[in-house]
Structure 1
């Protein structure tokens, strides 16, 4: 796969990170609540699913350096490790070079890093939607009914994230569709479509990607 470089506005980058962490939190909390149900046979398959999803969420938290206390306190400082890791291979526009106003506070991000971010969001959407659907279909035990109501609240948040990405609500979203939606949503413009001096070409997009 060709390596792509993306120049992404700082606010857009942080928005992607916040959405990803939000999904981590929803998945982790939902899996924890489902894991507390231990009696009805009709929820055994949900318990197995919740346990597996919980392990996946824990692995992702560890891989991104997100401490468990973030779920309780939500301190933005706890996300420093996540941002440091994401920016590990990022090349900031050098200070000594004059920068057009529209390019201030922007990052050049390797395509592999961007695709990894898209892939993580896609996987978490699929995992969360599957688990939320199982919980919503259950109709036994008071604890499980409470979880059903809580899952409904999570679904509202998920719909908000879908809307923010410009995606149709539901689980049938392919990986490439998600990537295209993000590119379209944030006006990423292929660099080959821009002439040598973007300042003089009326470039209005906040981000640029190139091969």
Structure 2
């Protein structure tokens, strides 16, 4: 398998606060990686660099063979932020339809991906409700569905199971393992909790 992510001597500061210093790592395609550490350790800053939302002060970040940031790669990267980025005045289905349209999915592909993603996160029966009426856990699940909507090669999940009940959390981890095993997805997960 090839290299999905290459981070070479990356540093990042905000003002006088150094968040990342001389970080080097490599992630192979088709694997699951965890970035584990306490709040403030720089996990979110690093994943934002992988997505192209932040630039390193020094060093290089390459994703799927391309230097980041790179707009061409948006189709290939699914990103679930630590904070939900949803349109609360829309329904769950309208949110998924909107995000699917950003990736220019055809009508049938859009329908299939919405059905798949909503089933995965156990929201199929809730898609007609406005997101404003969703619980915090439901919003996290919808955010995960949005990250999966375009069938990305690289999935980056920042604290994906915070606020999700334990039984659904197990189901989501099992599906992430399936995505790795059967579809060869590369998955990067941040957490402040050690995972077994």
**Structure with the largest fraction of strand:** 2
TM-score range (shorter-chain normalised) is: under 0.3
Max Rg structure: 1
Return the TM-score normalized by structure 1: 0.26
Q: Which has the higher contact order (CA 8 A, sep 6+)?
A: 1
**Structure with the largest fraction of helix:** 1
